[in-house]
C-alpha cells in the first residue's frame, strides 16, 4: 500500500481503510481544530461504530429459531463472545459507539502511557482475569502513531490466551502500521484514514492533535 508520504511504504495486506462517505465526512470534522470537546467525543463515538460495523463483518453466527407475531422463523445470533479493549485513555471514547452495536460485549481496560523521551509504552493498569472470557478482542485506540501501545496491548492479550484480535483506530501513520504489522501480521488493522508520517514528537501528521486531550478537554 502506498502511503501519503512516498518515502514511507506500507507493505502489508492486512489493513482495511474505510471507504465509507460518512466516515470521511465525520473524520474531516474530527480533524478540525475548531471542533469542541463535546462534538469531538460525539464524532469519535460515531466513527468507532461505523468502523466496528466493518471490522466485525466476519464474526461467526449460529442459527436459532425465533417466534415472530405471526410464526416461527429462522434467525441467527453471534456465536463468538466479544471483548472491547480500549487503550487508556483515548480509547475510552470509542467504546460507547461500539457498545451500542454489541451491548453484550465485555470491556477490559489496559492502561499504557507513552514515555515522552523514548516514545515507548509503559504499562500501568491491567485488570484482565486469569483466564480469557472472550474469543474475539477489538483493540481500540484512536491514533496508531508509533504502534508501540498497540503492539504491547496485543502482546498482553495473546499471553492471556485470546488468538482472534483486531485493531480498530481512527488514523494511522505508516510507521505505526508497519510496526504493528511486523510484530503481529495476523491482526487485521481497521482505520478511517492513513496519514503522511510522524513528526519529531511522535504525533501523526496531519492527524488531529492529541486525541485524549481533545476528547477530555485537557488540551
Q: Which CATH architecture has domain 15-216?
A: 3-Layer(aba) Sandwich (3.40)
Distance between CA 145 and CA 113 in Å, rounded? 13
- Considering 35, 133, 197, 213, which one is annotated as catalytic? 213
Concerning whether 213 is annotated as a catalytic residue, the answer is yes
- Considering 35, 114, 155, 197, which one is annotated as catalytic? 114
Contact 218, 212 (CB under 8 A): yes
> Mean pLDDT, 10 residues at a time, over the chain (219 residues)?
54 86 97 94 96 95 96 95 90 93 91 75 83 93 93 93 95 95 96 95 90 82
Concerning whether 210 is annotated as a catalytic residue, the answer is yes
What's the pLDDT at 167? 98
- Give the start-to-end residue ranges of the domains of the chain: 15-216
Concerning whether 146 is annotated as a catalytic residue, the answer is no
Task: State the maximum Cα–Cα separation within the chain, in Å, rounded to a whole number.
Answer: 65
| pTM exceeds cut of 0.85 | yes
Following DSSP, what letter does each residue of 49-77 receive, concatenated?
HHHHHHHTTT--EEEEEEE-SS-EEEEEE
Concerning whether 56 is annotated as a catalytic residue, the answer is no
What's the pLDDT at 5? 56
What's the pLDDT at 2? 45
Q: Give me the helices (H) in 129-210, please.
A: 148-160, 174-183
- Considering 35, 89, 155, 210, which one is annotated as catalytic? 210
Following DSSP, what letter does each residue of 93-110 receive, concatenated?
HHHHHHHTT-TT-EE--E
Amino acid at each position: 500500500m502506498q502511503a501519503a508520504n512516498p518515502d514511507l511504504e506500507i507493505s502489508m495486506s492486512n489493513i482495511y481503510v474505510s471507504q465509507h462517505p460518512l466516515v470521511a465526512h465525520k473524520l474531516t470534522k474530527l480533524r478540525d481544530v475548531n471542533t469542541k470537546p463535546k462534538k469531538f467525543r460525539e464524532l469519535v463515538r460515531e466513527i468507532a461504530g461505523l468502523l466496528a460495523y466493518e471490522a466485525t463483518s466476519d464474526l461467526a453466527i449460529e442459527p436459532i429459531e425465533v417466534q415472530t407475531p405471526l410464526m416461527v422463523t429462522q434467525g441467527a445470533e453471534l456465536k463468538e463472545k466479544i471483548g472491547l479493549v480500549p487503550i487508556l485513555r483515548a480509547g475510552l471514547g470509542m467504546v460507547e459507539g461500539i457498545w451500542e452495536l454489541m451491548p453484550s460485549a465485555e470491556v477490559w481496560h489496559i492502561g499504557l502511557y507513552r514515555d515522552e523521551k523514548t516514545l515507548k509504552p509503559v504499562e500501568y493498569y491491567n485488570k484482565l482475569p486469569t483466564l480469557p472470557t472472550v474469543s474475539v478482542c477489538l483493540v481500540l485506540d484512536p491514533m496508531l502513531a508509533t504502534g508501540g501501545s498497540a503492539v504491547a496491548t496485543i502482546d498482553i492479550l495473546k499471553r492471556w490466551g485470546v488468538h482472534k484480535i483486531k485493531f480498530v483506530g481512527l488514523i494511522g501513520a505508516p510507521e505505526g502500521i508497519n510496526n504493528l504489522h511486523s510484530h503481529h501480521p495476523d491482526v487485521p488493522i481497521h482505520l478511517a484514514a492513513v496519514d503522511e508520517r510522524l513528526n519529531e514528537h511522535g504525533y501523526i501528521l496531519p492527524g488531529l492533535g492529541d486525541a485524549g486531550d481533545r476528547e477530555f478537554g485537557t488540551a
